[in-house]
Amino acid sequence: MRAWIDYYDSPHTIYANARHRDVHFKHVASDIVGYVPSSDAIVVDYSCGEALYAGMVADACGKLILAEPAPGVRARIAALFSGNPKISAVTLEDVAAMPDGSADLIVMHSVSQYMSAEEIDAALKTFRRLLKPSGTFVLGDVLVPNVSAVTDVLTLLRFGLADGFLIAAAASLVRTFFSNYWQLRTSVGLARYSEAGMLAKLSAAGFSAVRQPKNIGHNWARMTFVCRPV
């Protein structure tokens, strides 16, 4: 995961333009709000990225913990939400140090593909410990086998058409193709799971999980699971 953390902590071309970046995080935040169980819930967004619309999630819960491993990104999050007492920006190590049973909802969206098998197993173990007995873990944007990068291209173009950045999206695909993103994707790779494979992994970690009909965010070809401790 370290190589990907460094990538996202550096200038990159993953977003077509400011409009793409903005609507991406707005869609993700809106979907996460739908999983917040109550207005006083303690919510952890694990490896949250830029989290531009975390304020939307914070408005729906009691406390929002934004855990981000990339120091530069985390510093920007902390500055952006410094005036919001409901939001804190912390490290992944800070989350691991939280007391048992202290979270009502944990979300890990678009992260599993960057993690080794050992890293995701360790994270799942931590989440199982941190969740209250009535808590929920939401795992989003899980890549599936035998879906090529062409699908990601098509979903981005469809996203751009719907949200007003189609031309920028097409141009960004060319930029990204020649960027170090593709070098990293080829050399390090991305983790992929079948539905049955991920359900088995979640069960082994102590969760009862159900795949959702709709993935968090815009990519219809990926999977979201709602998981509860057993």
Q: Domains of the chain: which residue ranges?
A: 2-229
| pLDDT value, residue 178 | 64
| pLDDT value, residue 15 | 86
Q: Please state, in angstroms and rounded to a whole number, the distance separating the CA atoms of residues 101 and 180.
A: 40
The 3-state secondary structure of the chain reads CHHHHHHHCCCCCCCCCHHHHHHHHHHHHHHHHCCCCCCCCEEEEECCCCCCCHHHHHHHCCEEEEECCCHHHHHHHHHHCCCCCCEEEECHHHHHCCCCCCEEEEEEECCHHHCCHHHHHHHHHHHHHHEEEEEEEEEEEECCCCCCHHHHHHHHHHHHHHHCCHHHHHHHHHHHHCCHHHHHHHHCCCCCCCHHHHHHHHHHCCEEEEECCCCCCCCCCCEEEEEEEC
53, 26 contact by CB (below 8 A): yes
82's CB contacts (< 8 A; 6+ apart) are none
Q: Please state, in angstroms and rounded to a whole number, the distance separating the CA atoms of residues 120 and 159.
A: 28
Closest CA to 141 of 20, 224, 214: 224
Whole-structure pTM value? 0.90
Task: Domain 2-229: give its CATH code.
Answer: 3.40.50.150
pLDDT beneath 70, residues of the chain:
177-178, 182
| pLDDT value, residue 2 | 86
| pLDDT value, residue 185 | 77
Q: Please state, in angstroms and rounded to a whole number, the distance separating the CA atoms of residues 5 and 186.
A: 16
In this structure, which amino acid lies at residue 100? D
| pLDDT value, residue 158 | 85
Give the other-Cβ count within 10 Å of 85's Cβ. Answer: 9
